[in-house]
Amino acid sequence: MAKKKILLLSDDLRMTSGIGTMSKEFVLGTMDAFDWAQVGGAIKHPEEGKVVNMDESVRTETGVEDAKLTIYPVNGYGNSELLRSVINIEKPDAILHYTDPRFWGWLYEMEHEIRQEMPIFYYNIWDDWPAPQYNENFYECSDLIMNISKQTYAIVNEVAKNKPRTDWDCTYLPHGVSKSFYPISVFDDEYKKVDAMKKQLTDDDVEFVLFYNNRNIRRKMTGDVILAFKTFCDTLSKEEANKCALLLHTQPVDDNGTHLPNVVKAICPEYKVYFSDRKLDIPQLNHLYNIADVTINIASNEGFGLGTCESLMAGTPIIVNVTGGLQDQCGFELKRNYAPDGSGYSSGYLTPNDYKEIKSLHDDRKWKDNSDLTWGDWVKPVWPATRSLQGSVPTPYIFDDRCRFDDAADMIKEWYDMGKDKREECGQKGREFVLSDNSMMTSKHMCQNFIDHMNTAFDNWKPRKRYSIFKA
């Protein structure tokens, strides 16, 4: 039986953005089940107008002899004329859209004609409350919505309950991290490369490294990370602080963020802050995670938080703000019902359906000191101290979850005081969590979930009727 062909609309999978990286992971990981074509977007694409046949390349990389992938690069995110042309050439069996739906508004204006011929699948990265009713049209135009986090799953269900449907499916499908990220011990030959990179990026006397791997943009709260590091160092003796470093893998200057060297000069001149701004391949990035003692992400909004999940895969523990998909990486468990055998309360990882009821864990007054809620040894969660309603014209409202930088500093101190051996033990538990069937956060889990969810959607799909007839 011939494989179904999926037309993917997302960042060009050859790009190193989070969307591009994940697009590559699930496309290459499902080559044995589907053929692929992509309209590959970018802010300004150097190959716009070209048609790039990737068949030979992906066959070599995946080992799938009949793998097929064609990329149509485009500036921005394309238009309806381009899509019609690509559909005519590629004749896909479904369209899969991945990233913010507002980038592809023209797609949803065409959904009535598209869904007469094929289903529309949507990999949803929405990340916070209040429930975005303004996304209702996007959800209604999709036959399958796969959600990046448990909270996102709850959000879609909250919006959809106003107009119950029977012709769609809503599922949970977290990002999957490659096994190319792994711990490197001092006994491994590869450790020489890790040590060399550490000496290149920091000073010889550095013994504790706090690592940040995010873009320099406002919601990532990079300035607060610097403040948290300073606040942490202020609690140490001069000698101890001199052995600690903050390593920022980001662009030091970004128009969508700030001028970080000037921030460091003004706020934290007395302590060691280093920048890594070169584009790195996966082995080199894995070396950075192995240099790190702790990885931090206290973004005020976060769909998933790929960097901290990669860090856990590499065996390095994390500090995260309790928001969006970062919650899933905490391994939150909740005491539920009293066990029938009298052994006490049973616990279990929070499920997507749990989030339909509790919505989120943002309310620190309710959850932070709640003995019924526990989390993994691999993480120090920081609860948002404030929630402010932000918005724009296309996105009228969304909560901005901001934690206190001094709360984050306390978590850095806890990891520091724990000692290297204990940190490594906790990091190993984090790696085991990511690899487990409970988290489903490996590339293997993600790809198999894509195959299962999309095949089920194909089996259940019915073409949309050309006209809707109703009595006036």
Query: What CATH number is given to the structural domain containing 15?
Result: 3.40.50.11930
Asked whether residue 234 falls in the same domain as residue 153, the answer is no
Answer yes or no: are the C-beta atoms of 228 and 406 closer than 8 Å: yes
222-234 and 260-267 are packed helices; what angle lies between their axes, rounded to 10 degrees? Answer: 30
| Residue of higher predicted confidence among 168 and 339 | 168
Span 184-189, average pLDDT? 94
pLDDT tens digit sequence for 79-110: 999 999 999 999 999 999 998 888 888 998 99
323, part of any domain: yes
**Whether the predicted pLDDT of 245 surpasses 80:** yes
Asked whether residue 132 falls in the same domain as residue 245, the answer is no
369: phi > 0 → left, psi -120 to 50 → alpha, else beta; which?
alpha
Span 358-382, average pLDDT? 89
Contacts of 89 (CB under 8 A, 6+ apart): none
High-pLDDT (> 70) share of the chain, %: 96
356, part of any domain: no
Predicted pLDDT at 104: 82
Instruction: Say how far apart CA 192 and CA 423 lie, in whole Å.
Output: 21
- The two beta strands, 94-98 and 120-124, are parallel
Q: Any idea what the CATH number is for the domain that residue 262 is in? A: 3.40.50.2000
3-class secondary-structure state, position 352 = helix
pLDDT tens digit sequence for 3-61: 999 999 999 999 988 899 999 999 999 999 999 999 998 888 999 999 999 999 999 99
Answer yes or no: are the C-beta atoms of 10 and 40 closer than 8 Å: yes
Asked whether residue 249 falls in the same domain as residue 383, the answer is yes
- HSE-up of residue 261 (Cα within 13 Å, Cβ side): 7
Domain encompassing residue 292: 191-331+375-441
CA 40, 45, 51, 56 torsion-angle sign: negative
Asked whether residue 280 falls in the same domain as residue 156, the answer is no
80, part of any domain: yes
Predicted pLDDT at 161: 85
Predicted pLDDT at 99: 85
Answer yes or no: are the C-beta atoms of 261 and 253 closer than 8 Å: yes
Which parts of 141-208 fold into alpha helices (H)?
150-160, 191-201
DSSP per position, 264-314: HHHH-TTSEEEEE-S---HHHHHHHHHH-SEEEE--SS-S--HHHHHHHHT
43, part of any domain: yes
**Whether the predicted pLDDT of 1 surpasses 90:** no
Answer yes or no: are the C-beta atoms of 22 and 441 closer than 8 Å: no
Asked whether residue 171 falls in the same domain as residue 207, the answer is no
Instruction: Say how far apart CA 402 and CA 246 lie, in whole Å.
Output: 21
456, part of any domain: yes
Mean pLDDT of the chain: 93
Asked whether residue 421 falls in the same domain as residue 452, the answer is no
Span 452-465, average pLDDT? 92
Instruction: Say how far apart CA 272 and CA 203 lie, in whole Å.
Output: 9
Asked whether residue 434 falls in the same domain as residue 288, the answer is yes
pLDDT tens digit sequence for 410-437: 999 999 999 999 999 999 999 999 999 9
Output the six-digit token pair for 248: 């920022």
410, part of any domain: yes
238, part of any domain: yes
Tallying the residues shown for the chain, one arrives at 472
pLDDT band at 341 (very low <50, low <70, confident <90, very high): low
Answer yes or no: are the C-beta atoms of 319 and 412 closer than 8 Å: yes
Asked whether residue 161 falls in the same domain as residue 259, the answer is no
pLDDT band at 62 (very low <50, low <70, confident <90, very high): very high
Instruction: Say how far apart CA 197 and CA 188 lie, in whole Å.
Output: 15
Predicted pLDDT at 464: 82
The residues pairing with 178 across neighbouring beta strands, listed in sequence order, are: none
362, part of any domain: no
Residue type at 156 in one-letter notation: V
Is pTM beyond 0.85? Reply is yes
Predicted pLDDT at 363: 77
Instruction: Say how far apart CA 188 and CA 100 lie, in whole Å.
Output: 42
Asked whether residue 164 falls in the same domain as residue 216, the answer is no
Asked whether residue 141 falls in the same domain as residue 224, the answer is no
Asked whether residue 196 falls in the same domain as residue 142, the answer is no
Asked whether residue 397 falls in the same domain as residue 429, the answer is yes
**Whether the predicted pLDDT of 468 surpasses 80:** no
Answer yes or no: are the C-beta atoms of 327 and 351 closer than 8 Å: no
Answer yes or no: are the C-beta atoms of 212 and 384 closer than 8 Å: no
pLDDT tens digit sequence for 107-135: 989 998 999 999 999 999 877 899 999 99
Domain count, the chain: 2
Span 371-378, average pLDDT? 94
Output the six-digit token pair for 336: 């539920």
Q: How many CB atoms lie within 10 A of CB 110?
A: 17
**Whether the predicted pLDDT of 345 surpasses 60:** no
282-291 and 191-201 are packed helices; what angle lies between their axes, rounded to 10 degrees? Answer: 70
